[in-house]
Chain A
């Protein structure tokens, strides 16, 4: 646990100094939201239909930028070698990096999400808690796989391309559930003012329950698998 914290502390401090990952993620995420908003000027019905997908595009594409940078410091000056020579379990290294990536991506989402809700006029109201929970669980799984694949791609010449090529197909089920669940929340948010706790809201909540179970299961399974296999990725 101490080693995980030490690695996390190092990554947070480096990011605080350079602000490389977070600024890239923020700028890209915000650009996606702004460009889509000005290009399509969507109606509430269109936001209900496509808003969730758009939001997760902004999250994940911005996230890939941050994940691509997550081992940049280790590549410099042979830092990875020094790190691997330290008497720490490879899983501690993975968990430290995973938590750091999760923190960076959540920080970017903390800015992207309010701007999205504001620009697309989503009356999120009391659904904000569920939306934040789905965002957290989706991001947890996405950074879990992203950290592993960032480790896989870090020593390759085409790492910027390789990471999304590896990451998106494997995380597709997670993203589909996250988008569907976010869509259901948007449906509820738009319909709530019209039908007080009507049928549509009940259906959305049922869908939410399934999505939550799936996201939690996905995060747990891939969290365990990635923690175990990371050692093989960085060694040899």
Chain B
């Protein structure tokens, strides 16, 4: 079946959800990393995924981003099947992880132009310059990315998201290794995007998870262990999270 043929059925399957995941499983060899995940994320909702290392958070994001294929189950993004319609989904997605993903020997401007052209943006020149301005890298636009600090690289990664302005953001531990100004910039951006865009973010930082998210999902060994309300007191979230982890260790 072609992508175009799939479009109608896939869209009807979404029922207006930005992200919908059904019985998703992923194996690496004999190890089951995702064990039947069911998840629905509303349009404009901010969901934080918490869980220990190896809980399956990044694998879930990779499947939604089309970087990995699910072993079993189905997933839709904006009503499009991630397995069959990946090329059509990608313009809808912004990706930010702890790996910046830039070419060290190209300048910041050249890197953004490269990605902007791949996204086929009509006015990419203006979009690139505006994005560099917004993240405070306009003065370093002509410098090779190899000379950038970790924080500057992450700001540039944020600029890449701003260039193509997607409705859905998949953020994989985006705060890792950032200095305070970069964390402030990223949080400011996430605050700005709240409600406007659908955001699915993994983090180990409970304070960030508690303050920004509408909903918090705790993953453990590839399963959803709990769903907690977002925008809550960090101490409360910490207590609940530790109880869940203690229960997991006990089990």
Q: Chain A, 62-79, contact with B by CB distance < 8 Å: what is the 0/1 string?
A: 000000000001001111
Residues of chain A at the chain B interface (Cβ within 8 Å): 2-3, 6, 9-10, 13-14, 17-18, 73, 76-79, 81-89, 235-236
Contact partner, B90, options A6, A17, A86, A235, Cβ 8 Å: A86
Query: In the bound complex, do residue A86 and residue B115 qualify as a contact, i.e. CB atoms below 8 Å apart?
Result: yes
Q: Which of B1-28 contact A (CB under 8 A)?
A: none
CB-contact partner of A77 in B87, B102, B114, under 8 A? B102
Please judge, given known A-B contacts A77-B102, A235-B69, A236-B68, whether A85 and B95 are in contact too, CB under 8 Å. yes
Interface set of B (CB-CB < 8 Å, partner A): 65-69, 87-88, 90-91, 93, 95, 97, 99-106, 110, 114-115, 117-120, 144, 153, 160
Whether B117 lies near A6 (C-beta < 8 A) is yes
User: Does the CB pair B87–A89 fall under 8 Å?
Assistant: yes
- The SS class assigned to the A binding surface is helix
- Contact across chains for A17 and B97 when beta carbons are under 8 A apart: no
Cβ-defined contact, B67 with A87, below 8 A? no
B106:A13 contact, CB within 8 angstroms = yes
Q: Which residues of A contact B95 (CB under 8 A)?
A: 81-82, 85
A86 to B160, CA, bound (A): 11
List the 4 closest A-B pairs by CB distance, nearest first: A78-B99, A82-B101, A87-B90, A86-B118
User: What are 15 A-B pairs at a CB distance below 8 A?
Assistant: A2-B120, A6-B114, A13-B106, A79-B101, A79-B103, A82-B101, A82-B115, A82-B160, A83-B118, A85-B66, A85-B67, A87-B90, A88-B87, A235-B67, A235-B69
CB distance from A48 to the nearest CB of B (A): 44
A13-B68 in contact given A6-B118, A18-B105, A76-B104 (Cβ < 8 Å): no
* A77 and B104 contact, CB distance less than 8 A: yes
B104 touches A81 (CB 8 A): no
Provide the bound-state CA to CA distance between A139 and B144, in Å. 33
User: Which residues of chain A come closer than 8 Å to B115, judged between CB atoms?
Assistant: 82, 86
Given contacts A14-B103, A78-B100, A88-B118, 18 further A-B contacts (CB under 8 A): A6-B117, A10-B103, A10-B114, A76-B103, A76-B104, A78-B99, A79-B103, A81-B95, A82-B95, A82-B102, A82-B115, A85-B90, A85-B93, A86-B90, A89-B87, A235-B66, A235-B68, A236-B69
